Chain A
Amino acid sequence: MDGIDAGRLIAFATDMTAAPGDSGERAEYARLTGKYLSDAAFRMLVDDILEGVGCQVTDADPRAGLVLLSRPDGPWAWPAQSGDLPWNKKTLTQGERACRMLVIPALLAYIAPSAADFDDLASDPALRPADVPVRELERFIRDFAEQREADSSGPPGEDPPVWWHWLQMQQEAPTPGQQRSSRSDTAYLVYEMLEFLHRQHLLIKVRDAPARESMYRPRRRILAHYRDLLVDDLFASLRQFASEQGTRLRPSAAVDDMAAKG
């Protein structure tokens, strides 16, 4: 029976649309998560199977279910260059790809600007992260970009930084005839990214409105994803990058560096 339960739990854990709940399949997921938390032998079985496919459980919570992290080369990992990821579309320029990538950490900074904010959210399951309107998140990023622009001295040089690329796009491009929303502005870019995360069941769409007026709410499991990302890979890479560049990780360091090169 444990083997069957382990299989079912892993099926739930790999299905991003699944969430524990009170009835039907959701109740079954909740029961299996509870069993995972309380039954050491069962937990070991599940963990062993997952280890075999290059995954580990990084969070197990009766409300959010199991959160899995895959080895980059694991069979269940997203290939880093998968065309299904919105920042990897072949039609995008490097600048557009970078701007899309930026939306992911910016979303985190929007809901939890400081480490203490993040800890509050992560430690208390009753707390709910703030809703994220598309326009507000775009404005949030644009403010930082404009700040960078104001701080920079002179033109950005041959290979301009990401903030420059962000500001090159209009916040909201005019739409002729207002029949269809333009797809060349940053508000639409943010919408596309949030909509993708919504389809991945990391965000809940709380306002179903035209693209730029949409609003999303982070699910609890996205916090677990962020935690896995930020305490590990991203920050380690950023720190390494900064040390290689001879800069320090502070807000204006990169700009100073750019200015020095310019």
Chain B
Amino acid sequence: MELTGHADDSEELAQAGSRSLSPALAGFLEGWQPRQRRTAGFQAMLFNRLDTLARAHPEWDGYDLLTHALGALHLIIENDRLTGGHTREQIVDELAGLVALERPDDGPGRHHEIAAAVVDLLLNARGRHTRLSQPYMRVGRDGAVDHPQLTLRLVQTTGEEDAATPVLRPTPEAINIFQNLFEFDPSDRAAAERYRSERMLQRRDYDEVLSSVERRSTSIHGLRADLERMLRRISYNVRDVDYAGEVIPRLDEAMSLIGEQVDAEEKFAATVAEHVHDDAPDLPRLQRIIERLQQLIRSLTGLHRITASFKLEFEAQQDRQLFTYRRMTISPQAEIVEPLLGVTPAQMITLMEAPLAAWMGVRPPRVASLRALIDRIAPGRRDTGTGPDADPFELGAARDPAEDFDPALAEAADRILGAITQPCSLSEILSGLAARPEFSEQLEPRQQALLPWVLAVTVASTYGSTDRGEPGTGPAAPAEAHLKVLRTGGAFDDGTVAGDDLLLIPAVSRQAAP
């Protein structure tokens, strides 16, 4: 699309062209679209026709027609430059060699047929060697849209009137397309923009100069994004990046490109500065151009700094990435979910139980808290509020009975403690166990080993306790309930139990018992 006339202000165009067109799109129509549509249109015409050719010949499936078209263009350009041009037949014969290389098993007839078709496509032989054409959208200054034809000739036939066969010659557009496909580089575009700016500056078309500088600023965003992507990949997984083979060459290229651009922009800024003097026709605009140029130079030097930091970043990331990212090569949908749907529940649990617990990460470490324990086990507060009275028969949820000792062990401990008739210390009881096998002979070896510990805990739990339970309820009071336990102040350690030694004094009633 191309603008006819010249809109002074993109907002004006936005209003004139379409009520809903944003200023950004209006700017696109004014500054970008005419040139981009032309370049893209030229390429599209070539590619569309190649596509049509491929569809018309399904038997050629497997041949890379685009490569052969570019090869033909290369031959035409090179032969024109070196030899003054080749005829169609010469180009076709030479190109057939490349086609044959791709699928040598097909016959030479087919190779020749394909080469000829490709060269004829460049010549638009089916269209009587006319220009290729394509309608495109063009918006006028008043917002009116029309569709003129964009036309292109890639190869033309030239020669003397009396020459038997003409020779092929590429058009400037064909050379540009070919060249730009090879070297589509931000630095070239910037150079072209600068060239354009200089011309505009000479013509004192400062608006154009300003928009050109802005376009150059935009174009370096692409390079910046590239570099940042690479940096991100390094920080993502340093092993994933081929530092010597990929990063270094890319950095070298970027450094030289940025360096050249900085030099060129500085020179251009100096040229602009020459135009700045008191009687310059439009001093404010010139100053704005210089301001923008300085911004551009700052962006470029910032980019230079990023590039220079790569080595340091790479080394830092190498140090850091002790935990190396491993690139996923598994498709979660096809390789995880779908197979898992087919397993049985038991298999799923076997497969997933442990990995899913690990997947959850860590569980915050729990530290035992007496306060939390009390809160958890203490009875709830009585509701003394103004609400309805609580049901006195509601006992609440039943609690699990507390875990008790092994009954056999508890019974043995009870027998031992019940047999005490004279005050004695805990350490004496424990050391005397071996001499009284009758107390532990009914126990298994495992239980015998636990007996000292059970005794110690039972006695220790009686120490200081005044709670004898409610009379008349529950089972008979245990033997230790009739013992008074005092601290002796000493300590003991018999190898299985250690701690404060305790003195056990049997109560009077127990003493009186037979």
Q: Which residues of A contact B (CB under 8 A)?
A: 13-16, 37-38, 40, 43, 47, 53, 55-60, 67-70, 72, 74-82, 85, 87, 93-95, 97-98, 101-102, 104-106, 108-109, 112-115, 118-119, 122-124, 141, 144-145, 148, 159-163, 165-166, 200, 225-231, 233-235, 237-238, 241-242, 249-251, 253-255, 257-258
- Extra 8 A-B pairs, beta carbons < 8 Å, given A122-B325, A124-B232, A257-B342: A14-B364, A16-B361, A72-B357, A76-B363, A85-B360, A102-B337, A114-B331, A228-B358
Contact B348 A102 (CB under 8 A): yes
Contact B342 A108 (CB under 8 A): no
Contact A98 B349 (CB under 8 A): yes
Among B326, B333, B336, which residue has its beta carbon within 8 angstroms of that of A238?
Answer: B336
Q: Please give, as numbers and ranges, the residues of chain B lying within 8 Å of A38 by CB-CB distance.
A: 316
Contact A72 B330 (CB under 8 A): no
Contact B356 A98 (CB under 8 A): no
Contact B341 A163 (CB under 8 A): yes
* B346 in the interface (beta carbon within 8 A): yes
Contact A123 B232 (CB under 8 A): yes
Contact B349 A75 (CB under 8 A): no
- 23 cross-chain CB contacts under 8 A: A15-B364, A43-B322, A70-B362, A78-B358, A79-B357, A80-B357, A82-B357, A95-B345, A98-B343, A98-B349, A108-B336, A115-B332, A119-B328, A144-B341, A161-B342, A162-B345, A163-B342, A231-B326, A234-B352, A234-B355, A235-B330, A235-B335, A237-B351
Contact B233 A123 (CB under 8 A): yes
Contact A237 B355 (CB under 8 A): yes
* B338 in the interface (beta carbon within 8 A): yes
Q: Please give, as numbers and ranges, the residues of chain B lying within 8 Å of A40 by CB-CB distance.
A: 319
Contact B357 A77 (CB under 8 A): yes
Contact B337 A227 (CB under 8 A): no
Q: Which 3 A-B pairs have the closest CB atoms?
A: A254-B342, A98-B345, A251-B338
Contact A238 B323 (CB under 8 A): no
Contact B326 A144 (CB under 8 A): no
Determine which residue in B232, B332, B347, B361 has the highest number of CB atoms from chain A within 10 A of its CB, and name it.
B361
Contact A81 B353 (CB under 8 A): yes
* B329 in the interface (beta carbon within 8 A): yes
Report the separation of the CA atoms of residues A255 and B327 in the bound assembly, to the nearest whole angstrom: 29
Within the complex, the shortest CB–CB distance from B376 to chain A, in Å, comes to 16
* B393 in the interface (beta carbon within 8 A): no
Determine which residue in A59, A93, A94 has the highest number of CB atoms from chain B within 10 A of its CB, and name it.
A94
Among A72, A109, A253, which residue has its beta carbon within 8 angstroms of that of B337?
Answer: A109
- Main SS of chain B's interface residues? helix
Report the separation of the CA atoms of residues A57 and B340 in the bound assembly, to the nearest whole angstrom: 29
Q: Please give, as numbers and ranges, the residues of chain B lying within 8 Å of A163 by CB-CB distance.
A: 341-342
Contact A55 B359 (CB under 8 A): no
B14-61 CB contacts (< 8 Å) to partner A: none
Contact A85 B357 (CB under 8 A): yes
Report the separation of the CA atoms of residues A241 and B351 in the bound assembly, to the nearest whole angstrom: 8
Among B327, B328, B333, which residue has its beta carbon within 8 angstroms of that of A109?
Answer: B333
Contact B344 A159 (CB under 8 A): yes
Contact A229 B355 (CB under 8 A): yes
Chain B residue, CB-CB nearest to A54: B362
B310-324 vs A: 1/0 string, CB under 8 Å? Answer: 000000100110110
Report the separation of the CA atoms of residues A182 and B204 in the bound assembly, to the nearest whole angstrom: 77
Chain A residue, CB-CB nearest to B355: A233
* B280 in the interface (beta carbon within 8 A): no
Q: Which residues of B contact A (CB under 8 A)?
A: 232-233, 236, 316, 319-320, 322-323, 325-349, 351-365
Report the separation of the CA atoms of residues A75 and B337 in the bound assembly, to the nearest whole angstrom: 30
Among B325, B332, B342, B346, which residue has its beta carbon within 8 angstroms of that of A112?
Answer: B332
Report the separation of the CA atoms of residues A106 and B340 in the bound assembly, to the nearest whole angstrom: 10
Q: Please give, as numbers and ranges, the residues of chain A lying within 8 Å of B331 by CB-CB distance.
A: 113-115
Contact B349 A101 (CB under 8 A): yes
Q: Please give, as numbers and ranges, the residues of chain B lying within 8 Å of A68 by CB-CB distance.
A: 361-362
On whether A70 and B320 interact (CB within 8 A), knowing A118-B332, A145-B341, the answer reads: no
Contact A162 B340 (CB under 8 A): yes
Q: Please give, as numbers and ranges, the residues of chain B lying within 8 Å of A113 by CB-CB distance.
A: 331-334
Contact A144 B338 (CB under 8 A): yes
Contact A161 B344 (CB under 8 A): yes
On whether A233 and B358 interact (CB within 8 A), knowing A109-B337, A114-B333, A123-B233, the answer reads: yes
Report the separation of the CA atoms of residues A103 and B340 in the bound assembly, to the nearest whole angstrom: 11
Report the separation of the CA atoms of residues A104 and B236 in the bound assembly, to the nearest whole angstrom: 25
Chain B residue, CB-CB nearest to A88: B353
On whether A59 and B323 interact (CB within 8 A), knowing A70-B362, A78-B360, A253-B339, the answer reads: yes
Q: Please give, as numbers and ranges, the residues of chain B lying within 8 Å of A104 by CB-CB distance.
A: 352, 356, 359
Contact A227 B325 (CB under 8 A): yes
On whether A233 and B354 interact (CB within 8 A), knowing A47-B322, A97-B349, the answer reads: yes
Contact B356 A118 (CB under 8 A): no
Report the separation of the CA atoms of residues A237 and B347 in the bound assembly, to the nearest whole angstrom: 11
Report the separation of the CA atoms of residues A95 and B328 in the bound assembly, to the nearest whole angstrom: 30
Chain B residue, CB-CB nearest to A104: B356
Contact A77 B362 (CB under 8 A): yes
Among A43, A94, A101, A227, which residue has its beta carbon within 8 angstroms of that of B328?
Answer: A227
Contact B323 A58 (CB under 8 A): yes
Q: Please give, as numbers and ranges, the residues of chain A lying within 8 Å of B325 by CB-CB distance.
A: 59, 122, 227
Within the complex, the shortest CB–CB distance from B359 to chain A, in Å, comes to 4
Contact A94 B345 (CB under 8 A): yes
Report the separation of the CA atoms of residues A48 and B342 in the bound assembly, to the nearest whole angstrom: 42
On whether A87 and B356 interact (CB within 8 A), knowing A57-B323, A123-B236, the answer reads: yes
Q: Please give, as numbers and ranges, the residues of chain B lying within 8 Å of A231 by CB-CB distance.
A: 326, 328, 330
Contact B348 A98 (CB under 8 A): yes
Determine which residue in A74, A82, A97, A115 has the highest number of CB atoms from chain B within 10 A of its CB, and name it.
A115
Q: Please give, as numbers and ranges, the residues of chain B lying within 8 Å of A43 by CB-CB distance.
A: 320, 322
Report the separation of the CA atoms of residues A70 and B348 in the bound assembly, to the nearest whole angstrom: 22
Contact B351 A108 (CB under 8 A): no
Within the complex, the shortest CB–CB distance from B363 to chain A, in Å, comes to 5
Report the separation of the CA atoms of residues A165 and B14 in the bound assembly, to the nearest whole angstrom: 60
Report the separation of the CA atoms of residues A86 and B343 in the bound assembly, to the nearest whole angstrom: 20
Report the separation of the CA atoms of residues A118 and B190 in the bound assembly, to the nearest whole angstrom: 36
Q: Please give, as numbers and ranges, the residues of chain B lying within 8 Å of A58 by CB-CB distance.
A: 323
Report the separation of the CA atoms of residues A97 and B353 in the bound assembly, to the nearest whole angstrom: 10
On whether A72 and B338 interact (CB within 8 A), knowing A60-B323, A94-B346, the answer reads: no
